[in-house]
Structure formats: structure tokens, C-alpha cells
Amino acid sequence: MKAILIIADGLGGRPSDMDGKTCLEAAHTPNLDELARRGAVGLIDPIKPGVRPGSDTAHLSLLGYDPYQVYTGRGVFECLGIGMNVEPGDVCFRANFATVEETPDGLKLVDRRAGRIDAGQDDLAAALAEIALSDGVKFAFKASTQHRGALRMYGGELSRAVTETDPHKAGVHISTARAITNDDAARRTAAAMNEFTRKSYEVLKDHPVNKARIAAGKPPANIVLIRGAADLPHLTPIDRLYGVHGAVVAGAALYRGVALACGMTRIDAPGATGAVDTDLVSKANTAIQALEQLDYVFIHVKGTDNRGHDKDAPGKKKFIERIDAELIGTLMGKLDWNQTHLAFTGDHTTPIDYGDHTAEPVPILYVGPNVRTDAVAEFGERAAGRGGLGRWSGRALPILFNYNNWLPKFGS
């Protein structure tokens, strides 16, 4: 038996999205409707009712973990997701190139994203490697897309109980990282963060990439601000829990990182971008190929959430229609439906009016030979409320695995 879990980020919506319908309800989705007809639907609270999910915590919950137990912060997923190695005891951060200016009383933030820099980041990252930190703290920095990057600190006792150097708004001085707990590891980590941030400015301010940016009238990427301190989540990986091996196909680093932390292998689909321009047929074909070797695949698509944050209802509807035609359509034609169970859902609701995540449950469908079918023959929020699966919280992946008889028994 094989299994596929598909999560469309921010899939859920509200009636205010499109004249009384959610974007999903308004979208033309013949393939998802057909899978709903062949399978069963329900509503899932990604974490639990009345909790507004972050994408990282929602994914941990959907993959079968209790985020209140295992979540340590976002930085570690960013590091893992862009291909950095992370060891127990390391502390990881989200990082961004930013623009600061010198003032008599310190460095003031001008642009938190350094004009969304889109070239030269690897040269800047190479320059950062020259920085030496005090007290035996070592680090690795890697640039990812635009102004984004990730920083891993290691060597000796470190702690994620620290604040950050990113003030989150322009026009104010950069923040001083502080220890949240009263111990040497947190104080040592905060000191290393402040030293790294200050030295990043010294190394970057006169870098040729920035001289060229200034000459072209662009804001220089003259500092690295860090936030989201996290260490590896304390969890038992999926392969140890269930004895099956799987892969993640995701264009966006955060989701690869969550899946890697849970024990999946990373497989990159050509043309997968983690944005609305992604190649959804390629993702489907990559998953089908991966299933020849592996037990299950987790496919993540991000464009639905991006369009929700953009407050772009026609764009979100159109992206859902692309998921239906290109991703689901390709899978429908090529999967062996006698040997496969598939689940399709979202990780939270991202309504158009609000432009951010909200706590409503999201529709979920399961299809495959062992699914007890229901009477619903369409896929949408309100249709899912009439489905045979009812409403529950999290654990979408273990529920999928149950259909394949992969769950260990609790008790005797």
C-alpha cells in the first residue's frame, strides 16, 4: 500500500471571500469533487478549535505530533529546509539581510528586507564566514531566497531562550538580544547573537555587492538581523513511530524543514518554487516516481496561502483550480487506486478580508479502497461539514496511515 498526503497551505476561506462563497467553494474543482464522491470528507481543526495556527505548528499537528509538546520555534525548520545540517544542542535562527544607517546612538533600521535583494546574497554570505565569535561559539550562515537566510550557532552550551536582534519595523534602532532565562547558556547565546549582528555590519557595509547597490540607488544589504531561535524539536520521527519511509515534495523551505525534522527525506521537484508560479504537474510526477521506492509522500503547495495573504480572491480561486487540474488531475490519472490512500486538506484558513490565518476548521478528504464512503460528492468547507468523517483536531497523517494498516496498537 502507498499513501499521499497533500496540504494546500491556507486552503480554507470564509463566505466573505467571494460573494457568499469561499474561494474553494467558488473554484471549479471537478477532480477534487470526484475524489470526495469516491471517498469521505470531514472538517479538521489543524491544532484544536479556537487556536489560530501558524504554518509550522499546524503542520506538526497534522503530521501527528502535539505542537505544544514538540515545537521549539521556526528557525530550526528554516535551517533544515535550506539544506543545513542541525545537531542536537545547536540553536538556529531565521535571518534576513537588512539595511541600517549609523546614527550617534547606534544602528537604525531603514529597510528590513534590504530592498528585497535578489542578487549577490551568496557573495555576502561568503563574507560573513570571516566573522569570528567570542567564547568558543561557532556559526554557519546560508542565504536562501531574496533577503532571507538562516543561521545556525553551535559549540558549547547554547539556549533558545533568547530574544532577537530584529526590531521588526523600520525607523528604530536594532534590538539587543537578551537572555529570557537566568542561566549562562542563554546569556552566552544572546551575547553571540549581538556580536554576530554587529560584526555582520562591519563585514557587509563596504562589501563590493553593497557598493554596487548604493551606486545603483538600491538600499545596501549591510546587516543580518536574526530571530526565531530554536533547537531541534524533541520528537520521535515518523519512520520509528510507524516503520514506514516517506519523502516531502515542497518548494518552500519551512515545510521541507518541518518534514525533515519529522524524519522524511527531501525530494526536489523541478520547477517547484514555493509560490504561485510553481510547477504542479512536476510535483505530482515527482511524487509518483518517489512512491516507486517509498511508502508515502507528503506534497505541500504554498500558493493558496500567498494569495490569501495578498487578499487576492480571484488569484486564490485560480490557484485552487490549478491544484485541481494539474496536481490532482495528474495524480488521478497515474496512481494505482487499488493500492493507494490519499488525503487532501489545508493547514489553516486564510480568509481574503483578513489576509492572515484564522482558526476555522478546514475541509479534508480521504480516498482509497479502505475508506468508508459518505454521501458528499463535492469538496468545500460547508460540504465537508456534512461529511461522514465529522470534525476532529490534527493527526491527518496517522489517520491516513490507519487506512494502510500502518499504525501500532495502543494497548494489547
Chain positions contacting Zn ion, by CB under 5 A: 9, 55, 305, 347
Distance of alpha carbon 88 from alpha carbon 396, whole angstroms: 28
For residue 147, give the 3-state DSSP assignment: coil
User: CB under 8 Å, gap of 24 or more: what pairs does 404-411 form?
Assistant: 404/1, 404/2, 404/3, 404/244, 404/295, 404/341, 404/370, 405/1, 406/1, 406/3, 406/242, 406/243, 406/244, 406/295, 407/242, 408/241, 408/242
**How far is Cα 411 from Cα 99, in angstroms, rounded to an integer?**
57
Nearer to Zn ion, 9 or 195 (CB): 9
Q: How far apart are CA 338 and CA 217, in angstroms?
A: 60
Query: Smallest gap, in angstroms, from Cβ of residue 232 to Zn ion?
Result: 21
Nearest approach, Cβ of 395 to Zn ion (angstroms)? 17
Q: Cα 107–110–114 angle (5° rounding)?
A: 110
Dist. CA 190–CA 180, nearest whole Å: 9
Query: C-beta of 308: minimal distance to Zn ion in Å?
Result: 7
Quote the cell numbers at residue 386. 456534512
Residue 213 or 302: the one with the smaller Cβ distance to Zn ion is: 302
CA–CA dist 344, 326 (Å, integer): 14
Q: How far is the CB of 54 from Zn ion (least distance, A)?
A: 7
* Phi, psi (rounded to 5 degrees) for 351: -70, 150
Residues 6+ apart with CB under 8 A from 47: 53, 57, 58, 61, 67, 393, 394
- Least separation in angstroms between CB 53 and Zn ion: 7
Return the number of the residue (152 or 256) whose C-beta is nearest Zn ion.
Answer: 256
Q: How many helices (H) and strands (E) does the chain have?
A: 16, 13
Of residues 11 and 86, the one with the C-beta less far from Zn ion: 11
206 Rama sector, left if φ>0, alpha if ψ -120 to 50, beta otherwise: alpha
Give the C-alpha separation, 331 to 13, whole Å.
25
| Side chain identity, residue 397 | L
Classify 269 in phi/psi space as left (phi over 0), alpha (psi -120 to 50) or beta: beta
Least CB distance to Zn ion at residue 343 (A): 16
Nearer to Zn ion, 55 or 286 (CB): 55
Output the smallest distance, CB 77 to Zn ion, in A.
12
User: Please, which residue, 33 or 305, has the CB nearer to Zn ion?
Assistant: 305
- Please state, in angstroms and rounded to a whole number, the distance separating the CA atoms of residues 216 and 148: 21
- Across 46-201, the runs of DSSP E, i.e. the strands, are 91-103, 106-111, 138-143, 148-154
CB of 151 to Zn ion, least distance (A): 23
Q: Count other Cβ atoms within 10 Å, centred on residue 211.
A: 12
Name the residue nearer to Zn ion (CB basis): 305 or 324. Answer: 305
CB nearer to Zn ion: give 191 or 258: 258
Comparing CB distances to Zn ion, the nearer of 220 and 346 is 346
Nearer residue to Zn ion within complex by CB, 347 or 381: 347
Closest residue to Zn ion using C-beta atoms:
55
**Which contiguous run of DSSP H or E holds residue 344?**
strand 340-346
Q: How far is the CB of 275 from Zn ion (least distance, A)?
A: 12
CB of 401 to Zn ion, least distance (A): 22
